[in-house]
Structure 1
Amino acid sequence: MNYTPTTADAVTLVRARWALMIAFLVNGAIFANWAPRIPLIQGNLGIDPALLGLALAGLGIGGLLLTPIAAAAIGRFGSRQVLLVSVIALCGSLILPAIAPTWWALLATLVLLGGSDAVMDVAMNTQGVLLEKRTHRSLLNGFHAAWSVGTVVGGLAGTAAASIGMPVAAHFAAVSVILGSSALVASRWFPRPAPSEENNHDKQDPGTPRTIFGPSAALSLLGLIVLFAALIEDVPQSWSAVYLSSELEASSGTAGLAFVAFSTAMLIGRLISDRLVDRWGASNILIVGGVFVACAFGASIAIVTPITAIIAFAVAGLGASPIFPIAFSLAGRLPKIASGTAIGTISMVSRIGFLIAPLAVGATASAFSFGLAFTLIALSGLAVAALTATLKPRLS
């Protein structure tokens, strides 16, 4: 029997929404706690940057390996059960890199950590789409905003633990217990899907997009959108500080503000995007976001001061903020494709994008200039807008 909003208890829906926000926050906070402790883990193992880089690649490898398994598991057990298991695995595996005795052990633990994150990513977005269907409202931007809050809180906690010299194992154990316990308490209110809700084989809800061409073609377009989105989002994290310090001669403190501006603007954008989507439509917001990104990075050829660059990164963050949430939402509601399968597919594509982005930008900047590299990212923003415009007439 299909779920209909008239059978839902309003309090249950509110609890489910807050429970999923906690899940997204936990996911963001886990890796934000991990990042500030990497130098100490490297020092404890006595490995050089090259070996550390290879070990860190384990996060991406684990994500690519387990993302297809996430979709299959959701199809068999449902997104709620997969989310519950994956959040326990993610919190539990956080402590393993801290106690890894060798480089090989570190690599193995990071594969597990990255794989757990990938499964949780697919499951929690599938749960978010399920709740959107039930409420007939855009919600994923708010969930991704909670993830952003988690990264801020986790980053501050990790930095504080590092500054006071807290042992990594004790730090990660405390984080695992606190975040894991929070997620377990919240899990009792995770939405419980009926089989037809995640199979997408039945008649769709009124607010669900209907394609007038094959769902595989729509999924391909959404995959390209998240691929370009990954290129866009990686640049501020990997290259903004390098760009400001090397090209604009900014101080170390000032150079770091570009990523802060991007992240802050992204958080603000995600906090307001659900309302904008409900009013103007997902496609229109995606197109505007892509144009914002294109304008921000396209202006790089005219930027000559650090403050101007920081403002440009803020504009880019505002434009990039709704791309991933909207793409996940649209993919999860495509007809004739199970939500977990669709979301798992574009999640894998995005992970490939995050793997190739630092290499592509670094190679272009080294061979030519940051200006050309950022022009390619501006074209990525235009590509998001163009692909969305292509998809838009087919969503009605």
Structure 2
Amino acid sequence: MTCRRTAAVLKRRAAAVALIFFVNGAVLGNWGPRIPAIAGDLSLDAATLGLALAGMGTGGLLATPLAALAIRARGSRVTTLASATLLSVAIVLPALAGTWWSLGLALMVLGAADAVMDVAMNAQGVLVENRRGRSILNRLHAGWSAGAVTGGLIGAGAAALAVPVEVHFAVVAAVLLALTVVTARHLEPDAGRRGLDSAAPPERSGSRRGSVARRRSGPAAALALLGALVFVSSLVEDLPQSWGALYATDLGATPGPAGLTVVAFSTAMFVGRLVGDAVVDRVGRHRVLIGGAVAIALAFLAAPWVTSPTVAVVMFAVAGLGAAPIFPAVFGMAGRLPGIAAGTALSVVSLVARIGILVAPIGFGTLAGQLGYGWALWSMVAAGLAVAALATVLRARTSAHAPQG
């Protein structure tokens, strides 16, 4: 009876963490399809819009170091709830912006809340995974993708119906706040003040010889490789979300169908993450990363010559499937590096991702302004190849000591 009760509690906690991931994804999913409307209302060209969008990366970059401090001081549960509440409210701010710089400031707040929530909810995910003794991070990230898909559909529908952005975002904020309140009682409690750092990851079990070998492999070097991997991966996730609808609009799509590029990317990512844990167990994490990265590169290879918004939707769907396993794999590996506190490693990885999110819109906006959206999307080809190369190097470095791939 006690075992059944414990299993039921763990399922509820896993479901609560998945719902938190859903809330985070729903915010960004609703945001993407409305970018063309906001840019049009403010009469922003691609380069200026890129500067404004960089506000999200700037806010995330500034706030990420605070996440580890907040988790250590208050625990990942409290930090998750506080940041989820702020993120749900902050979605309204971009709709109220009247200039490119006020849009940038609004996105700084949104990015800061997202950054802290990102670290805290992944810390919750690692805690639940450790308690359950088996991999669930892909499924938790599938919750994020489900939120992004749902938000993208709502956003695309609101755009097609010409619903005012401020009304749309206000309704979204109210719903997401309610969902956050629902999770409050069921999130995983932290094990003392150290919380995540005191929880022993399941993969660390094994012989003393294996532990010594892993320590000698250089956790700092492995973390550096993971940092480089997540930097490039952040471009892979951010560019389709932020620029997909604009690319389709440039190809002649109307506001509703243009948002389907974001929906296609998020839907394919959701499907990929649903099956991700099983695929990783079968073929290995690194092989999945390499295959996914190659799929991303191939998806955008013909981008400069595409003239149909329908083809664009297919391209973004293929890229979403390829991108699906990347972030769960990186966060999973970072949370289990020997010799480095898990909360610290997760914060470092998230910080590097935020740098990527800061750089991506400025670089892409500049390229799009000079070359057009199609040629600018070749940056995704380069990013995919870079992810594949880094995953190959990481695999060669860790294959002697890690059981997966």
TM-score by length of 2: 0.80
Call closer, same or farther: CA 1:308–1:203 in 2, change over 3 Å.
closer
Specify the code of the residue in structure 2 equivalent to 1:252: A
Do the aligned partners of 2:32 and 2:241 also contact (CA within 8 Å) in 1? no
Counterparts of 2:359 and 2:398, CA distance in 1: 28
Cα distance in 2 for partners of 1:141, 1:228 equals: 19
Q: 1:185 to 1:358 in 2, by over 3 A?
A: closer
2:236 to 232, 235, 239: 232
Q: Secondary structure at the match of 1:16?
A: helix
Q: Is the 8 A contact 2:148 2:266 kept in 1?
A: no
Which residue identity is paired with 1:91?
S
Which whole-Å CA distance do the structure 2 matches of 1:363 and 1:101 have between them?
22
Decide whether aligned partners of structure 1 residues 227 and 6 sit closer, same or farther in structure 2, where only a CA change above 3 A counts. farther
What's 2:389 paired with? 383
Instruction: Tell me whether 1:183 sits opposite 2:180 in the alignment.
Output: yes
Could you say which residue in structure 2 is the equivalent of 1:143? 140
- What does 1:1-396 correspond to in 2, within 5 Å? 9-38=6-35, 48-49=44-45, 53-99=50-96, 105-195=102-192, 198-200=196-198, 204-206=201-203, 211-212=214-215, 213-237=217-241, 252=253, 261-294=264-297, 296=299, 300=302, 313-360=316-363, 366=370, 373=379, 375-393=381-399, 394-396=401-403
**Deviations, residues 308-334 of structure 1 (Å, cap 9, x unaligned):** 876565443322210111101111122
**AA at the equivalent of 2:402:** L
Given that 1:225 and 1:383 are in contact with CA atoms closer than 8 Å, whether structure 2 keeps it comes out as no
- Give the deviation of 1:31 after TM superposition: 2.5
Say whether the 8 Å CA contact 1:68–1:344 is kept in structure 2: yes
Shift, 1:230, TM fit: 2.1
The residue type equivalent to 2:332 in the other structure is S
CA separation of 1:370/1:34 partners in 2, compared to 1, >3 Å: closer, same or farther?
Answer: closer
CA distance in 2, matches of 1:304, 1:38: 22
Contact 1:331 1:342 in 2 (8 A): yes
Q: Give distance in 2, aligned partners of 1:203 and 1:280.
A: 25
Cα distance in 2 for partners of 1:54, 1:362 equals 8
CA deviation after TM superposition for structure 1 residue 119, in Å: 0.6
The answer to whether the Cα contact below 8 Å between 2:92 and 2:169 also exists between their aligned partners in 1 is yes
The question of whether the paired residues in 1 share the 8 Å contact of 2:229 and 2:387 is answered with no
Q: Residues 26, 260 of structure 1: CA spacing in aligned structure 2 closer, same or farther, 3 A cutoff?
A: closer
CA RMSD of aligned residues (A): 3.7
Read off the aligned partner of 2:230 and give its amino acid letter. Answer: V
Choose 59-68 or 288-297, whichever is displaced more. Answer: 288-297
Q: Secondary structure of 1:193's match? A: coil
1:284–1:219 Cα change, 3 Å: same
The letter for the 2-side match of 1:380 is A
Q: Which amino acid aligns with 1:285?
A: V
Counterpart of 1:395, as a letter, is A
Deviation by residue 1:103-142 (Cα, 9 ceiling, x = unmatched): 6654433321211111111110111111111112221111
**Secondary structure at 1:376 match in 2:** helix
C-alpha distance in 2, partners of 1:164/1:302?
Answer: 30
CA distance in 2: counterparts of 1:237 and 1:163, whole angstroms: 18
For 1:359 and 1:109, locate their aligned partners in 2 and report how far apart those are by CA, in whole Å. Answer: 17
More deviation in 103-112 or 212-221?
A: 103-112
Measured after TM superposition, the shift of residue 146 of structure 1 is: 1.4
Question: How far apart, in 2, do the equivalents of 1:102 and 1:333 lie?
Answer: 44
- Contact kept in structure 1, 2:135 and 2:277, CA below 8 Å: yes
Give 1:216 shift. 1.6
Deviation at 1:25, TM superposition (A): 0.9
Cα 1:367–1:315 change in 2 (3 A) is closer
Task: Report SS of the residue matched to 2:202.
Answer: coil
Worse overlay, 211-220 or 312-321: 312-321
Aligned-residue sequence identity (percent) comes to: 46
Cα offset for 1:160?
Answer: 3.5
Question: Aligned partners of 2:98 and 2:249: how far apart in 1?
Answer: 36
Q: State the distance in 2 between where 1:193 and 1:278 align.
A: 28
Compared CA separation, residues 356 and 8, structure 1 to 2 (3 A): farther
CA offsets 1:198-252 (integer angstroms, 9 cap, x no match): 125x765346796332322111111111122123334544666787898xxx663
Question: What TM-score, normalized by structure 1, do the two folds share?
Answer: 0.81
What is the CA–CA distance in structure 1 between the aligned matches of 2:200 and 2:156, rounded to whole Å? 49
Q: 1:117 to 1:378 in 2, by over 3 A?
A: closer
CA distance in 2, matches of 1:244, 1:100: 24
The answer to whether the 8 Å contact 2:204/2:336 transfers is no
